[in-house]
Amino acid sequence: MTRSPTDPALALAAALCLAGGGLAGSERDGTLRIFADHPGGNGRVLGQDGRTVRLAQEAKGSGHWFYWNIRIERPAAGTYRFEFTDGEVIGPHGPAISRDGASWRWAGAATMDRAKTHAEWIAPDAETGAQSFTWTFTGDEESVWFAHHLPYQLQRLEAVLAGLPAGAVERRQLGTSEGGRPIPLLVVGGGAAPDRRILVTCRHHACESHASYVLEGILRRLAAEPIPGCAVHLVPMIDIDGVERGDQGKARLPRDHNRDYDRAPLYHATRAMIAHVSANRFDQAYDLHCPGMAGHLRYHTHFYNVLPQFTAEYERFRDLLRAAPGTGASPAGQLYDGRNDRIATAATPDTFSTFMAGQGPRLVLTLEQNYFTLDRPPLEQDELVAFGDAFARAMTSYNRR
Ligand SMILES: [Zn+2]
């Protein structure tokens, strides 16, 4: 929900607080107090009828997309149905759920009121229709979060950085966002005069948080074991405002951050990225994303639109990633077998990867880290981090020659 006082959902919550002292009102009539004002929050209450709540995700400056992330405070005991009215916004494992906004798991397919068939899950028109899930509150929960997938906010990144060995990561600032937030730039390894520079970027599209777990795994591994002679520059949250505001980010209008690498970029972060790339000759770039919502490809970790000039180097990296310790061991890693990678037939204009390709690097790759799996257990937070660890090991092997 927006923070506008005219927002009907906020007005509803405010009215409840006024009328019944908030919790008392909630306990008396079963009306849920639903919020989206936390970092990464996104969602709009359309109404509640008995134990059925109708909701929708918010576009927040984008065209139609599927991300949402809501918080329910002190729900009264009982079983509630959450009906989302605007397209497929619940995946095969049900919603992600959290009791603290930090540790997330999947509520499970059994919470969904109607399970789709395999054919429906891979249908190309997934973004139409409505979906619902049902959840039973015990009445002793302070807060319960639900989201489309496993969120990843700045707070987690800060906690990870605070836990790394002192001096392992150099913290810089790429620039300042439109919202006044510092855009973090992390540099790992390489010393004062690195032989080689490598760039890792994430959250060009704000909602694509599963990619952030992979970045965390890369960061943790490289902080412990830097790649000899290499300085790895990581920009973990390009659209940091969008990440913290709970924007979709993808399909942002008039164009999103990954369509902004032209001669007149709209966004502070993109301008800063172009300047940073111009000032540092990067040998490789790895841009971490998550897929869209149509077709079977979205259930697999894959490299998307590898530009043809990088085919030979991509194949070398692919084989190292498949062989990296941990790739086979982590469920996320098991999903990467290289078979779903795509070689581009043409470069997409004004993307980060197309821009980078023009800067003379040896390799540019775009990873799509899936939100969901089909016919196998879902991806958990730790497993995504483990795949990042494997990814970093592949980077180390790749740069050994
Ligand atoms: Zn993306």
Q: Which domain holds residue 119?
A: 8-147
* DSSP conformation letters of 173-197: EEEE-TTS-EEEEEEES--SS-SEE
Report the C-alpha gap between 367 and 281 in whole angstroms: 21
Whether 2 is covered by a domain: the verdict is no
- Between β-strands 363-368 and 302-303, what pairing exists: parallel, antiparallel or unpaired? antiparallel
CA of 221 from ligand 1 middle (Å) equals: 24
Strand partners, 200: 234, 286
Radius of gyration of the chain (CA): 21
Same structural domain, 97 and 199: no
Cis amide bond preceding 184, omega within 30: no
- Encode pLDDT of 357-395 as tens digits: 999 999 999 999 999 999 889 999 999 999 999 999 999
Last residue of a domain, one of 147, 169, 194: 147
Give yes or no for a contact between 45 and 1, defined as CB atoms under 8 angstroms apart. Answer: yes
Predicted local distance difference test score (pLDDT) of residue 126: 65
Distance 205 CA to ligand 1 centre (A): 5
Distance 208 CA to ligand 1 centre (A): 6
Say if pTM beats, i.e. exceeds, 0.95: no
Q: How far is the CA of 366 from the centre of ligand 1 (A)?
A: 9
Q: Could you read off the pLDDT of 177-228 as tens digits, one per residue?
A: 999 999 999 999 999 899 999 999 999 999 999 999 999 999 999 999 999 9
Measured in Å, residue 250 CA sits from the centre of ligand 1 at 6
Do 23 and 111 have their domain in common?
A: yes
Number of domains in the chain: 2
How far is 292 from 142, CA to CA, in rounded Å?
33
Instruction: Please check whether residues 328 and 296 belong to one and the same domain.
Output: yes
Task: For residues 253 and 112, state if they share a domain.
Answer: no
pLDDT at site 315 = 98
Q: How far is the CA of 296 from the centre of ligand 1 (A)?
A: 17
Same domain, 97 and 56: yes
pLDDT at 131 over 90: yes
The alpha carbon of 306 and the centre of ligand 1 are apart by a number of angstroms equal to 14
**Are residues 214 and 306 part of one domain?**
yes
Instruction: Tell me, yes or no, whether 161 and 133 share the same domain.
Output: no
* 385 vs 388: CA distance, rounded Å: 5
Assigned domain for 1 exists? no
- Residue 158 shares a structural domain with residue 136: no
Is residue 119 in a domain? Answer: yes
- Let me know whether 203 and 328 are in one domain: yes
